[in-house]
A and B are shown apart, each in its own frame.
Chain A
Amino acid sequence: MLDLSQNYFALFGLPVAYELDEEQLGERYRALQQQLHPDRFSDASDQEKRLSLQASMRVNEAYQVLRDPLTRARYLLDLQTGEPMPENENTQDSAFLLEQMALREALAEAKDQPDPYSVVENVLQQLDHQEQDLLTQLPSRLESSDPRHQEEARELIRKLQFVRRCRTEAEQLEAELDAFG
């Protein structure tokens, strides 16, 4: 049987680890799609089409998850602990939350500022810094199976998700400025 149930790392023939060779991941992703993609079966039977569709979807999903350091970390942690991290958990770190609130307030008021674009740009830059900072802390926490480290990793992931959400808001605001400005 076609083993689509193996974990995402195994699907690409990669070791189960946070650090990965992105170049290699991309190469193997493209090699797999060259074989599996439904376009390779445009002339085949319906059954083969279904199988290829299924396999291609799985490979796309796996690539999507592994390519992004945040989703990769989350996926790895889920593999290590054997249970998925709850979806909408938030960090309780009040210093971090205050920082985030200030950024969101800046965004909320951006439209009334003389140069709303520079406000958004500024917020995006700060979010970038925060993200980089959080990401550099991840690898060491993900290397061990120590539950304390795992909890620390989980906390970093929660914060990263928070930063990403704020980034989406900032980008949306910018799109609105473009559309109506």
Chain B
Amino acid sequence: MALLQISEPGRAPAPHQHRLAAGIDLGTTNSLVATVRSGQAKVLPDAEGNYLLPSVVRYAPEGIIVGQAAREAAVEDPLNTIASVKRLMGRGVEDLKHLGSQLPYAFVDADTPVPRIRTRLGAVSAVEVSAEILRVLARRAKEALGGALDGVVITVPAYFDEAQRQATKDAARLAGLRVLRLINEPTAAAVAYGLDRAAEGVHAIYDLGGGTFDISILRLRRGVFEVMATGGDSSLGGDDLDRAIAAWMLKQAGLEQDLDPASLRRLLRDARRLKEGLTEAEALPWEIRLPDGRQFQGTLDREMLHQLVDPLISKTLSACRRTLRDAGVSPDQIQAVVLVGGSTRMPWIRTRVGEFFGKEPLVDLDPDQVVAIGAARQADVLVGNRSEEDLLLLDVIPLSLGLETMGGLVERIIPRNTTIPVARAQEFTTFKDGQTAMRIHVVQGERDLVKDCRSLAHFTLRGIPPMVAGAARILVTFAVDADGLLQVTAVEKHSGVKAQVEVKPSYGLTDREIESMLRDSLDHAQEDLHLRRLREQQVEAQRTLEALRSALAKDGDQLLDDQERNRIRAAMAQLEQQLQSASDAQTLQAATEALEKTCAFYVERRMNQSIQQAMAGRKLEELGRDL
């Protein structure tokens, strides 16, 4: 791809090798992988023709089993069969206290920040379990495409916080995948729908999956998908509907709530079957074994089902109301409502969502597949296979970012639903005479007290010159890039002392842990890390050269004089030579950076020209509109 591609709409840039990319929907209940081939996004089936891979991993005596076979063993081997692991992603030991009773696993009682589940093949974290699922999907894609993947887009619930997102990225790294981007599930769904029907206007995406609920409001306009607001609940999903039904069954049978793991699994499975069966049937019989060996028999009809799930549906609709307000639109301004997630197959949910928005929801795309398809589209764009429709996603941060101030209060720096990339700065000061250091505590969440928010990172700005209280001027900047990665910088303005941190959640896995896991995993035993870095750097260098060559061919004569052109050519020749001879990544990286520095002025000139053309084009079009 060229330097600052200035391509006319509808015309594709110079052809280059097609890169292999995939979109992965890593779901609570099921996972899928999709890819774009000859302009068509398709979900990839396994050898038996199944699209859905149950997100269940069994640590069996003979080895690790993923998918349907694992799910079938859940009742007989509950402690070694991990399902709904997404609910544990990015969760600390503390969080388990809320979720613990719902999860029929044996957790290791060790002093680690990340909870680990005991299995017969050793203790595993949620990240490792998820990596197993990703490996199976990656293999499926590799076989279908006939080559290793250059990159993937993985979807996450919009309401996932930093820790949950980081855990997802860690799982991908562990599975040996390069993550181009994490995108939000409802946004991916909107992309699939929007591109499918060339839709315009404001859309609401109601996404009720197995373990999470998301609502997103998006504006679709000529290939630009602008997220206006998102909201939801990262611990509310179809599983909870099952649990509500299961609790009712127990109560009917006069049983206690705490069951052994196998009975709990069986009960939840029966509850899910009842829920699904009542889509067709008016009423269904069920039974449960009593302690004395007799069977208790009951019946669940639709009306009772509705009563049981109504409180949960109402919770989702409250979130819809708040999110609409954040987006500044009323329900009647919504062009279309799109339903996503297996749980939205339930007719009663469709009815209630339809009533809320005052229009029939769209269900014609398979709610299970739509997210993976949208992710595949975005992966195709991000990996560099630019499509003609010039899809662009303008996403937002789902939760407010701020820092701790006096008295355990939160000062919000970037409010939720702010479009990224974004940078915001705020000035703070010292509150003690002679104070030379300031601790900065970065938090995420909507509540006013630090203790109610999620702690993301701590760092300390040192070397502030001693001054009277209130005299120091400390500028704290929060910058979130297009990937949603947060960087926080603090600078004391008189002295220029500076400290910064790239935010990684306090209790995610460390890089060292990941590297050691990578080394341990069989897939990578032979891969030399040093060589891999060199190869990555070679690709980077080639990319820079290729970009420059095509830029020069395009407008080098127009934007540069002879002397400038020669200077750039000479610098390029130098990098080309290093590319042949350099045997370590650092040398090559330095050479690449040197070339970029030499061309800085040229890149800026091209950026300027690109903007001027964009504005000029827009004005012409507007003129056309007025006429």
Contacts and interface: CB of A to CB of B under 8 A. Distances in A.
B392 A33 contact: yes
A56 B421 CA distance: 7
B596 A47 contact: yes
B179 to A, nearest CB: 12
B126 interface: no
A2 B381 CA distance: 26
A175 B421 contact: no
A141 interface: no
Contacts of A39: 381-382, 392-393, 482
A135 to B, nearest CB: 14
A109 interface: no
A33 B223 CA distance: 12
Given A1-B604, A53-B481, A44 B547 contact: yes
Contacts of A1: 604, 608
B614 to A, nearest CB: 4
A60 interface: yes
Nearest to A51: B607
Nearest to A27: B618
Contacts of A3: 608
Nearest to B394: A33
Contacts of B423: 57, 61
B419 interface: yes
B422 A33 contact: no
Contacts of A48: 3-4, 547, 603, 607
Interface residues of A, number: 42
Given A45-B543, A60-B419, A34 B392 contact: yes
B421 A38 contact: yes
Interface in A1-44: 1-3, 13, 24, 26-28, 30-44
Q: Find the residue from A1, A28, A47 having the highest chain B CB count within 10 A.
A: A47
Contact of A33 (B224, B540, B622): B224
Contacts of B622: 24, 27
A35 B619 CA distance: 15
Interface string B380-413: 0111100000101110000000000000000000
B611 A36 contact: yes
Interface in B130-154: none
Contact of A42 (B325, B384, B448, B597): B384
A31 B617 contact: yes
Contacts, number: 127
Q: Find the residue from B419, B481, B544, B596 having the highest chain A CB count within 10 A.
A: B419
Interface stretch (B52-60, B243-251, B314-322, B500-508): B314-322
Interface string A152-181: 000000000000000000011011001000
B120 interface: no
Nearest to B607: A2
B38 to A, nearest CB: 21
- In this complex, the interface size class of chain B, counting residues with CB under 8 Å from chain A, is 35 or more
Q: Find the residue from A34, A55, A63 having the highest chain B CB count within 10 A.
A: A34
Interface string B584-623: 0000000011001101100110011011011101110110
Given A47-B596, A60-B419, A31 B3 contact: no
B583 interface: no
Contacts of A172: 446, 448
Contact of A35 (B221, B223, B603, B614): B614
A24 B544 CA distance: 36
Interface string B219-250: 00111101000000000000000000000000
Contact of A31 (B382, B607, B614): B614
A13 B4 contact: no
Nearest to B613: A35
A34 B422 CA distance: 16
Given A60-B420, A171-B322, A174-B322, A40 B5 contact: yes
Given A31-B614, A32-B614, 17 more contacts: A35-B614, A36-B610, A36-B611, A40-B392, A43-B384, A44-B1, A44-B547, A45-B540, A45-B547, A45-B592, A45-B603, A47-B597, A47-B600, A51-B604, A57-B423, A61-B423, A175-B446
19 contacts: A13-B615, A27-B618, A30-B222, A32-B611, A33-B394, A35-B611, A35-B614, A37-B392, A38-B481, A39-B392, A39-B482, A42-B180, A42-B383, A43-B384, A44-B3, A60-B419, A171-B322, A172-B446, A174-B322
**Which A-B residue pairs are the 10 nearest by beta carbons?**
A43-B384, A38-B482, A178-B318, A47-B596, A43-B1, A31-B618, A45-B544, A35-B614, A30-B224, A42-B382
